[in-house]
Chain A
């Protein structure tokens, strides 16, 4: 009989056993896949559809254009929406005024039409329409972006139509040249989203897919982390402790299995929501970094809180409350804007950093996730350290 089994083999054996149990008890399927997919689908159906279904959002517009196209955007597109009750339109005099309106919460989003808007479009150059969104009103900000994009698309289409309508009997070579130019031409109007972190938004499908996946990953990981209480109650922990294995391997395995379950859940959900809902999670490397550090943070916090419980049931109760609090204050259940002054609390939650990381990733490069990943990693390490200290008492003699 071999003495002192390989610790890595022991950890692997315990993790494999835990995963097998999670597969058999259905918690992996229910909390890891069905619930997050179901709730994300529900929110997508409820909030991700036609913008005209939402009323009551206020949009500011500042028309600095010295030509007619800016006026066309305001009077031809935004004001009819106002008149139809889809939105409330407020015309302001300056960009600063518009930004201030958004920052103060007087407007949910603002359109900034620059001075050279018409001149740029008339000369075929790029014109920039800026949409400033309120981070605390993600849906309204998203709608504003979509309106801007719709106008940009419309303007592009008209330009091409006019260009081709003049040539009723096109010379084949000239037509091919014109088509090539049209296809390679940059859109004469682009929508610029505000560079500030608070104003960039994920689209609805991505937002709810990611937020629900991350919200439920705590539940999925919870069963593994708290299983040590069940092992203590049913005697299998004593049996493990009586075997010739290092005690630290038990805790390591419990945390590792929670991490593994969480990572698999997130990976499957990212893929599923991409295919089913058209969610755009972002660059795979950035998403992978956020998911890895994000799940580590959740497992660490989960284990830390569980470490103060006296039993499995108490731990589950506490963690359910924690999940709701983190989800609510972290912007996973509803927009942070609804927290008003309490919104600053969201920075204490991994959910806020995870979703902000995804938002940054969608707007910037891979480097944009560095800060969120660092914060999530820190939360994970602190939580794990606390967990090891607290849960370690269960395997001490």
Chain B
């Protein structure tokens, strides 16, 4: 049974349809990346999933149960770390955790114990009593994420969890997420960093203009858009004389030259590479470097949306 099942969900603000018939599922222990440019409908979709926005159509099931803004049972299964650092900065990390623990039904000693456990988990035990306002961006981010773990959720929703943090803290956060998923936690992850999605996500959904344009594993998405591999060869002299022979090679779809540099598109770069090198050698050309670029999520995203992920 999927931990999250989103079926035909739509949301309209006035005449503006901001989420249009979106469907996807997240299985237990799976990390699902929801990618899309600003204004694509990610936040609204997440708002409906965490139960703060009413949907206009469709169904959302959490661990098999119908989910709504008033269903406290399904809401208790979700942990949510918003994009902004949603903590009380004038309170200490421990006070923040204890407060939100009480909103999840923990009281007294249980709330204190859980707060201490989460502080340990996010590596802030030594700073537990300090006001969050004194924390670095990375430390505050960790409190933000820690708050989403207080209720031992089955589904963790992380909305841009690494924005504004240093590389060390980012790596720490990513490792923490990987550790959580290894423990069986399901994660819905949004990010503007493609390398994070490629590193963490088992499957990715690309949303644009309120519609889910494509979803699948990275390889499936690449296959869906039919993106070619790119081979870049830099020579010691002019590249023109070998172009015709290269265009004649099997599985090569396009060849272009720019001074001493040849750009070659193919559906299988690694398979065609020996033929390319042999041809250039036979033409007595001085090969200085070779680079193979396989299509990534960035390329897929660009092809599907016409925009870069950070636009």
Contact = CB atoms under 8 A, between A and B. Distances in A.
B72 A397 contact: no
B78 interface: yes
A3 B77 CA distance: 9
A244 interface: yes
A3 B105 contact: yes
A5 interface: yes
Given A3-B105, A25-B90, A397-B52, A17 B99 contact: yes
Interface stretch (B79-87, B170-178, B255-263): B79-87
Interface string B184-208: 0000000000000000000000000
B104 A397 contact: no
A234 interface: yes
B91 interface: yes
Interface majority SS (helix, strand, loop, mixed), chain A? helix
B19 interface: no
Contact of A3 (B73, B86, B89, B91): B73
Contact of A243 (B75, B84, B107, B152): B75
Given A1-B152, A4-B72, A235 B52 contact: no
Nearest to A239: B86
A348 to B, nearest CB: 37
Contacts of A244: 72-73, 75-76, 103-105
A397 B53 contact: yes
Contacts of A2: 76, 104-106
A242 B51 contact: yes
Contacts of B85: 234-235
A324 interface: no
Contact of B82 (A10, A235, A243, A397): A235
Most central of B72, B90, B91 by chain A CB within 10 Å: B72
Contacts of B90: 21, 24-25
Interface in B12-59: 47, 50-54
A150 interface: no
Contact of A4 (B52, B53, B73, B151): B73
Contacts of B76: 1-4, 244
A242 B88 contact: no
Contact of A235 (B86, B99, B106, B152): B86
Contacts of B267: none
A245 B151 CA distance: 13
A254 to B, nearest CB: 14
A230 to B, nearest CB: 10
Contacts of B151: 1, 243
Nearest to B87: A236
B69 to A, nearest CB: 5
A243 B100 contact: yes
A20 B95 CA distance: 10
A238 interface: yes
Given A238-B86, A239-B86, A243-B75, A5 B105 contact: yes
18 contacts: A3-B73, A4-B72, A6-B105, A10-B102, A21-B88, A24-B90, A235-B82, A235-B86, A236-B88, A238-B86, A240-B103, A241-B52, A242-B50, A243-B103, A244-B72, A244-B105, A245-B103, A246-B70
Given A13-B99, A242-B52, 17 more contacts: A1-B105, A3-B105, A4-B105, A9-B102, A10-B102, A10-B103, A13-B103, A17-B95, A20-B95, A21-B90, A21-B91, A234-B85, A238-B52, A238-B86, A244-B73, A245-B103, A397-B69
Interface of A: 1-6, 9-10, 13, 17, 20-21, 24-25, 234-236, 238-246, 397
The 3 lowest CB-CB distance pairs between A and B, nearest first, are A235-B86, A2-B105, A244-B72
